[in-house]
C-alpha cells in the first residue's frame, strides 16, 4: 500500500561513532513524528547490524544501499539480498545513479537485482532518473519510462507491493539543484502512468523524489499529489536537516 517514506541514504559516509550519535539525535527529535511516516536508515552495509541494534527501541527501519544480482557464490566483495534480509534489512536501494554511472550497472543488471531483492522478501527501492544532457535533449520522460520498464517488466503481479520507486534526476544529486516541485510532480505522474500501463496498481505504489532535498524545499515537493516522500543523501547526514525533512512529509 502507498506509504509516506523518508529514506536516508548515507552513501559511503560516517563511522560507528557517527552512526551512534546521529541515531541517538534522530531518536529524540523524531519520537513524536506522525505515525504514518516511515523513516528508513540506509547506512554503509557494514553498519547495518549496529544500526539495527541502535534503533531497536525506535520505529525506524533499515535498508542497504546495494546487493548483488546473484544468489550466492564466488563473487568476492559482494553481498546478497538474502544476507541483507538475514541481518534485518527491509529495503534495498537498486539502480542508484551512482551505481549505474560509477559501477557500470546496466538496465539488465538492475532488473536482475530487483528479482533477487524480491526473492528475498525485501522491498526494492528502485532509483531512476535522467542526466542533464538527456533532460536538455527533451528525453527525460523516455529515459524514465525505459528504466522503469527494463527494471520491472518481469515482475509478477503479487510483487508490486514490494516495489517503491525514487525519481532522482542525476543532475540534482549532490549538486544543490533540485527539480522544481512542478517538474517533479509532472514526472511522478508520468511514472504512475507508465506503471499503470505495465499492469501495476499504480496508485498504490509509493513514489519518492530524490536530489538535493533540503529542509527549505522539502515541503513544497512533498505537497505534490504524486510525491510520497523522499530519498535524502547529503541532508540525511545532518540531524536537524533530516529531522526537518521528515517533519515536512
Ligand atoms: P542528495 O542525494 O540528497 O545528496 O542529492 C540523493 C541521493 O543520491 O539519493
Q: What single string gives the DSSP state of each residue in 48-105?
A: HHHHHHHTTTSS-EEEES---SSSSSS-TT---HHHHHHTT--EEEES-HHHHHHS--
- In this structure, the residue with its CA closest to atom 9 of ligand 1 is 233
Ligand 1 centroid – CA 157 distance (Å)? 30
Q: Is 168 a catalytic residue?
A: yes
190 given a catalytic annotation: no
CA of 95 to the centre of ligand 1 (A): 13
Element (H, E) at 134: helix 132-136
Question: 123 — phi, psi (to 5°)?
Answer: -90, 130
CB 16 within 8 A of CB 50: yes
Torsion of CA 134, 139, 140, 142, to 10 degrees: -130
Name the residue of 42, 177, 212, 217 whose CB sits within 8 Å of the most ligand 1 atoms, as the mutation to test its pocket. Answer: 212
Q: Indicate which atom in ligand 1 lies nearest the CA of residue 173.
A: 5
> How deeply is 29 buried, as exposed, middle or buried, from its count of CB atoms within 10 A (0-12, 13-18, 19+)?
middle
What pLDDT, on the 0 to 100 scale, is given for residue 1? 77
**49 with 16: CB under 8 angstroms?**
no
pTM of the prediction?
0.97
Cell triple for 121: 522478501
Q: Give the Å distance between the CA of 84 and the centre of ligand 1.
A: 22
Residue among 38, 134, 168, 188 flagged as catalytic = 168
Residues framing ligand 1 (Cβ under 6 A) = 9, 168, 173-174, 210-213, 231-235
Alpha-carbon gap, residue 10 to 8, rounded angstroms: 6
Our mutation pick for probing the ligand 1 site, out of 209, 211, 215, 238, counting the most ligand atoms within 8 A of Cβ, is 211
Spell out the per-residue pLDDT of the chain, length 249, in tens: 799 999 999 999 999 999 999 999 999 999 888 888 999 999 999 999 999 999 999 899 999 999 999 999 999 999 999 999 999 999 999 999 999 999 999 999 999 999 999 999 999 999 999 999 999 999 999 999 999 999 999 899 999 999 999 999 999 999 988 889 999 999 999 999 999 999 999 999 999 999 999 999 999 999 999 999 999 999 999 999 999 999 999
Please provide the size of the chain in residues.
249
165: left (phi over 0), alpha (psi -120 to 50) or beta: beta
pLDDT recorded at residue 136 = 94
Contact 74, 106 (CB under 8 A): no
Cα of 96 vs centre of ligand 1, distance in Å, is 10
To which residue does cell 510525491 refer? 227
Name every residue whose Cβ is closer than 8 Å to that of residue 142 and which is 6 or more positions away in sequence: none
Amino acid at each position: 500500500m502507498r506509504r509516506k517514506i523518508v529514506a536516508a541514504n548515507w552513501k559511503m559516509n560516517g563511522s560507528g561513532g557517527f552512526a551512534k550519535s546521529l541515531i541517538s539525535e534522530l531518536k529524540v527529535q523524531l519520537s513524536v513524528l506522525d505515525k504514518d511516516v516511515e523513516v528508513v536508515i540506509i547506512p554503509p552495509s557494514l553498519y547495518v547490524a549496529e544500526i539495527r541494534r541502535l534503533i531497536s527501541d525506535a520505529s525506524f527501519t533499515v535498508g542497504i544501499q546495494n546487493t548483488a544480482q546473484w544468489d550466492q557464490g564466488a563473487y568476492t566483495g559482494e553481498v546478497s539480498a538474502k544476507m541483507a534480509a538475514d541481518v534485518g534489512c527491509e529495503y534495498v536501494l537498486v539502480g542508484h545513479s551512482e551505481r549505474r554511472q560509477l559501477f557500470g550497472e546496466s538496465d539488465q543488471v538492475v532488473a536482475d537485482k530487483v528479482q533477487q531483492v524480491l526473492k528475498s522478501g525485501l522491498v526494492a527501492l528502485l532509483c531512476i532518473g535522467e542526466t542533464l544532457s538527456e533532460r536538455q535533449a527533451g528525453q527525460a520522460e523516455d529515459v524514465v519510462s525505459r528504466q522503469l520498464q527494463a527494471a520491472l517488466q518481469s515482475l509478477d503481479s503479487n510483487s508490486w507491493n514490494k516495489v517503491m520507486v525514487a525519481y532522482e534526476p542525476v543532475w540534482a544529486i549532490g549538486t544543490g539543484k533540485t527539480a522544481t516541485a512542478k517538474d517533479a510532480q509532472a514526472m511522478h505522474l508520468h511514472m504512475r502512468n507508465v506503471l499503470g500501463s505495465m499492469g501495476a496498481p499504480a496508485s498504490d505504489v509509493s513514489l519518492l523524489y530524490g536530489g538535493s532535498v533540503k529542509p527549505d524545499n522539502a515541503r513544497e515537493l512533498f505537497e505534490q499529489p504524486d510525491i510520497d516522500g523522499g530519498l535524502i543523501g547529503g541532508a540525511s547526514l545532518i540531524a536537524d536537516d533530516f529531522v526537518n525533512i521528515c517533519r515536512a512529509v
